Amino acid sequence: MSEIIRKFSGQGIAVRGNDIDTDRIIPARFMKCVTFEGLGDYAFNDERIDGNDVSKGHPFDDPRWATHPVLVGNANFGCGSSREHAPQALKDYGIQALIGESFAEIFAGNCSTLGIPAVTLTQDDTEALQTLIEGSPETEIAIDLEAMTVSAGKERWKASMPESYRNALLDGSWDSTAVLEAGASDIDKIATELPYV
């Protein structure tokens, strides 16, 4: 089985804007790869760098927030195509948890299968957290998947996420390959009983 994920804490990085789609998270031209390794270098590439390789001042490049592992977005984050390269790029960059008003369903599922919690808050609570992060970059954010809360500084908010994703993180079944490997002996046993194997 995979690692059981009950809680996560770390400093946050606010990426503001609704409907940030997977092509903005990882442009298609960077997906000509055999593995997902190194995709983090291109996370939000076109949002970060102009045609002359000059930084546009994206939060991922700002030393106040760069390398912080909790991304706080807004509504419908991860919409667009279902490319799993998007959460893979965020993971390779160093993002280990996401908080937002809402996530595209397939994107949230892809995050879950990587062991990345993607929890939602209300619009007001999300914006309050983003403002807190921007004003106090050192603030630690705590996500509790058992209590379904997000805490930062003196604030504490009620969070939510689909129960299937939450349960997979809590019981360690989020990595389907690890679950398959754990059941290898049972699979072998059943295979010997099948007439066509």
The string of DSSP codes covering 40-73 is GGGTTHHHHB-TTS-B---GGG-TTTTT-SEEE-
For residue 50, what pLDDT is reported? 80
For residue 74, what pLDDT is reported? 98
Reported as a single tens digit per residue, the pLDDT across 137-172 is 999 999 999 999 999 999 999 999 999 999 999 999
Which residues on neighbouring strands pair with residue 55, listed in sequence order? 49
The 10 Å Cβ neighbour count of residue 36 is 17
What is the crossing angle of helices 163-171 and 105-112, to 10°?
10
For residue 178, what pLDDT is reported? 57
For residue 30, what pLDDT is reported? 86
Q: What is the DSSP letter of 83?
A: -
For the chain, residues with pLDDT lower than 50 are: none
Name the amino acid, one letter, at 126. Answer: T
For residue 177, what pLDDT is reported? 67
Structure pTM? 0.88
**Host H or E run for residue 135:** helix 123-135
For residue 33, what pLDDT is reported? 74
Q: Compute the Cα dihedral for 141, 17, 44, 117 and give only its sign.
A: positive
Q: Going from the N-terminus, what domains does the chain have, and what CATH number goes with each?
A: 7-193 (3.20.19.10)
Torsion from C-alpha of 25, 30, 35, 39, nearest 10 degrees: -50
Q: What is the Cα–Cα distance from 70 to 125, expressed in whole angstroms?
A: 15
Q: What is the Cα–Cα distance from 11 to 139, expressed in whole angstroms?
A: 6
